[in-house]
Amino acid sequence: MRWHTWRLDRYLVGEIFGPFLLGFLAYTFILLIDFFFESAEMIIRRGVPFRQVGELLVYFLPSTLVFTLPMAFLFGILVATGRLSSDSELTAIRSCGISLWSLLRPILALALLLTVVNGFLTLYFLPRGNTALNDLRMRILTSSISRQVDERVFYEEWQGLILYVFDVVPGEDRWKGVFLASTAPGSKNEVWFAEWGEIQSDPDVEGRMLLRLENVVSHEVDLLRPDNYRTSFNRILDKALEDPYAVDKAEARRARYKHLRELSVPELRDRLLEPELPVELKKQAEVEIHKKFSIPFACVVFGLLGLPLGFNRQHSGKATGFVMSIGVLFVYWFLMNNGEKVAREGSLAPWVAMWLPNLTFLVLGVVLLARKNRDRSLLPQRLDLWSRSIVGAVALRLRQRFKSRGPRGLRRSKTGKNGRNHTADIVLRLPQLRLKFPNRLDRYILVLFLSILSLAFLSGFSLIVVAKLTDKIDEILEHDIPWSVVFEYLRYSSFQGLYQFSPVAVLVTTLAAFGILTKRNEVTAVKALGISLYRLAIPALIGAAIVVALTAWMQNEVLPAANERTAQLEDEIHGREVTRSYRRADRNWLFGRDRFIYNYLHYDTRREALQRLQVFEMDTERGIVRRLYADEAFFVGDGWRFDRAWTRSFNALETTGYRRYEEPTLAAFPETPAYFEG
């Protein structure tokens, strides 16, 4: 008997392993693709080499595997037990006197093994991976910006600043001759000219970069009131490459204390012993300690819950298991994140909040398994009867609507008046194949394709929401963001995620749909009727074309507004209170053919007029030697006419000349209107 039990255990483990591996690869791939798309802009714009891209993925992998291992295990159990249930193998096993509790033995053995693996990832690899990932990101940002900035090209990637470098030092990440200007809206204007410049990481604030300028001359003026003009000199000047008002006390505190997710359990315990540690950070540290143990234990909980849920399914197939695993995960992570919120607020003890989801699902799994072992439904009797009646009524209507008719030429036996059966000859006539479009076969394949596609998008959406919520939970709790704002952020940010996920969804759907058709031998039957695979693929191509049309519409009509709203909500989540522009202003910077830098708000091609024009005459050794401003400038013949203008000349810090023009004045510059039109 033990030998047969051992064979049964091995058989069940083998049934679970295949779907588990499939789910593990699918879930991990989806999260890695989402991370890659989020980092794609940084990778492309910064010119990150392939080796560092691989390092980014490797360092991100531990935080992904911590999620995907329990998810894939639940998926494997649901698919395996669902297949055994639909093929009546579980019924046969139970008829031999083997209870469901006995089948739980190999599942719990696998669950304990995965718990150990996941615990090892959480305790050792996850903190090191998060630390290495953040450090690598900062190295990429600081080193690649210096390489990305080309000499004599305007660099506009920083909010509120524009950079122009005269010379890049070969082999070094330093620049010689740096022109920097503020692009904040309004009449107040500030520009700087530095002898040297470079990019450094801010030692005081985590995740922020500094532009360090040496031997700097600053020019500050109100363009509409140029009489009050100030110049100053700084030996060293650091400019933060993000809004300084966004760095609040919470971010300064995070700079003092290393991010808690980057700490191991001994380091977290050492933090708890620090007497000057704020109470809020102590609660966060306790939450992180218990989370490092409660998340791996989810493998055991999902193993106990998956057996009754899978046994309850009436049809086999991976799609149902995929959806059920996503649903269970979504509920579990929602309870986990809410528990973290109430624990940091002090409403619950950290250990209670972090272990409550596991306890809830553990009790639920035991209750469901006990009911199923006694051949009872998972739901209470009245609720089960009500749900079955609703589902049965819907299924009956669908069967009546789409009931297939018998083929023409098929003669059946009939019952006479005397009760005897009169058997007639059965003549099977194969109908002549009509390949009109769309026929019943096209509709069948298209419905199958769209149903699998909807499941793929649903799973991708759920994983993206869980990943984004996990990534932002620290800021959400730290700044006490209402859940209404969080849900709105998840809703608008999901549009971009689904847009990026759509090619992968179509690929997975195509493979799954034709895999199902092949498994059911329907492809063979269709080919036997003379239908080629090219003709069979037309409905799938139509489904893919529908996705292309929807994504194109989203790109033009939905994503611009959704991404703008996402940026606003993200600023609110991060605690940024300063209003900023989320669309690049219509400001233009050009370097002339000689030594002039032009800045204007708008160029009117019909009138050949420049509005709100500034001209900086530059000297690479002395900096700004002359500056001109005009509300409007018109090209007249061989020169420019300036209206409401003023000029100022400099020799380093000293102002050598200043003149304000009340009347229009003429001046010659080498640039013509054709230069500004290009």
User: In angstroms, rounded to a whole number, what is the distance separating the alpha carbons of residues 215 and 76?
Assistant: 64
Residue 375's pLDDT is: 67
- Mean pLDDT across the stretch 407-429? 49
- Mean pLDDT across the stretch 665-676? 83
Residue 582's pLDDT is: 38
Query: Which pLDDT band, with edges at 50, 70 and 90, does 15 fall under?
Result: confident
Neighbours of 479 (CB within 10 A): 15
User: In angstroms, rounded to a whole number, what is the distance separating the alpha carbons of residues 101 and 470?
Assistant: 35
Residue 192's pLDDT is: 92
| pTM for the structure as a whole | 0.60
Location of structure tokens 């209404």: 484
User: In angstroms, rounded to a whole number, what is the distance separating the alpha carbons of residues 528 and 468?
Assistant: 49
- pLDDT tens across 445-460, in order? 888 888 888 877 877 7
Neighbours of 60 (CB within 10 A): 20
Pair of tokens at residue 633: 């400038």
Among the residue ranges 163-167, 296-300, 513-517, the one predicted with the least confidence is 513-517
Distance linking the first and last C-alpha atoms of the chain: 86
Pair of tokens at residue 177: 């001759």
8 A C-beta contact, residue 106 and residue 93: no
Pairwise pLDDT comparison (504 vs 522), residue with the higher score: 522
Query: Which pLDDT band, with edges at 50, 70 and 90, does 117 fall under?
Result: very high
Among the residue ranges 230-239, 468-477, 506-515, the one predicted with the least confidence is 468-477
Pairwise pLDDT comparison (473 vs 661), residue with the higher score: 661
Query: Which pLDDT band, with edges at 50, 70 and 90, does 406 fall under?
Result: very low
Neighbours of 227 (CB within 10 A): 9
User: In angstroms, rounded to a whole number, what is the distance separating the alpha carbons of residues 507 and 484?
Assistant: 34
- Mean pLDDT, the chain, as a whole number? 76
Query: Which pLDDT band, with edges at 50, 70 and 90, does 113 fall under?
Result: very high
User: In angstroms, rounded to a whole number, what is the distance separating the alpha carbons of residues 445 and 439?
Assistant: 10
Which residues face 422 on adjacent strands?
Answer: 414
Residue 315's pLDDT is: 46
- Mean pLDDT across the stretch 250-266? 57
Percent of the chain with pLDDT over 90: 5
Among the residue ranges 307-311, 402-406, 572-576, the one predicted with the least confidence is 402-406
User: In angstroms, rounded to a whole number, what is the distance separating the alpha carbons of residues 561 and 567?
Assistant: 10
What is the C-alpha R_g of the chain?
34
Pair of tokens at residue 331: 């509920």
User: In angstroms, rounded to a whole number, what is the distance separating the alpha carbons of residues 194 and 590?
Assistant: 19
- Count, residues in the chain: 678
Query: Which pLDDT band, with edges at 50, 70 and 90, does 348 fall under?
Result: confident
Strand ranges across the sheet with 209-222? 154-155, 161-168, 174-182, 188-201, 209-222, 225-240
User: In angstroms, rounded to a whole number, what is the distance separating the alpha carbons of residues 395 and 380?
Assistant: 22
- Is 27 buried (19+), middle (13-18) or exposed (0-12) by CB count in 10 A? buried
Neighbours of 603 (CB within 10 A): 18
Location of structure tokens 């051949």: 375
**Tell me, what amino acid is at 603?**
Y
Pairwise pLDDT comparison (479 vs 660), residue with the higher score: 660
Among the residue ranges 33-42, 180-189, 432-441, 555-564, the one predicted with the least confidence is 432-441
Bridge-based pairing of strands 665-667 and 654-661 is unpaired
User: In angstroms, rounded to a whole number, what is the distance separating the alpha carbons of residues 667 and 626?
Assistant: 14
Per DSSP, 202 falls in state: -
Compute CA 98 distance to the chain's CA centroid, rounded to the nearest angstrom. Answer: 46
446 SS3 class = helix
